[in-house]
Amino acid sequence: MVLIVGLGNPGRKYAKTRHNVGFMVVDELAKKYNLLFREKNNYHIAELEMENKDIKIIKPNTYMNLSGLAVKDLVNEKVLNSLPESLIVIHDDLDIPLGKIKIKKNGSSGGHKGVQSIIDTLGTKNFIRIKIGIDKDPNYDVSDYVLSSFTKEEKSKIREKISEAVDSIFVIINQGVDKAMNIYNRK
């Protein structure tokens, strides 16, 4: 099984915010395959089979800093034994320029509370991250900035990168994370 987790905050209020880029990517993935999310416990889930792999796509119903609770519901021994390839987490990153994609396996949370929640809950850092840059604005408090919407100019750039992030998921699943890092981390 491969578990793909898009990080964001639930509710309409946050739907178009920078912090919800992970949700935007998994929504695009679901749209590409005509999948519908259904609500279950602490998350929304859509399922797909690809290359003889059972793929579960989730969006936690918890707020960002409790994302690990939703992930924990789906992680079993088989997933843990197959890390990092069995868990892909997609999230925003303030320290990366707007729209740049960076794929990483293992490592710290980099201060991202959703990623830290997953690390704390699972007791491991050994999973794949697809980070999408949202940049920083020194004129904003960090929490206000991540909860702000993209400008009109930023929206078109982010839409393109969301599609690219979906493509990167397929590369990870079909060709491995190292191949995906070689392709997307250089762009």
Q: Do 45 and 38 touch, CB atoms closer than 8 A?
A: yes
Please say if the pLDDT value at position 186 is more than 90.
no
Considering the four listed CATH numbers 3.40.800.10, 3.40.50.150, 3.40.50.1470, 3.40.920.10, the one that applies to the domain covering 2-184 is 3.40.50.1470
pLDDT on residue 41: 86
In the chain, where the domains are located: 2-184
Beta bridge pairs of residue 3: 56, 87
Active-site residue, selected from the candidate residues 19, 44, 91, 112: 19
Q: What is the mean pLDDT of the chain?
A: 94
pLDDT on residue 97: 95
Please say if the pLDDT value at position 152 is more than 80.
yes
Residue 173 has, within 13 A of its CA and on its CB side, a CA count of 21
Q: Is 91 a catalytic residue?
A: no
Question: Which tens digit of pLDDT belongs to each residue from 92-143?
Answer: 999 999 999 999 999 999 999 999 999 999 999 999 999 999 998 888 899 8
Dihedral angle of Cα 106, 93, 139, 60, to the nearest 10 degrees: -110
> Got the DSSP string for 103-164?
EEES---TT-HHHHHHHHHHT---SEEEEEE----TTS-HHHHHTSBPPHHHHHHHHHHHHH
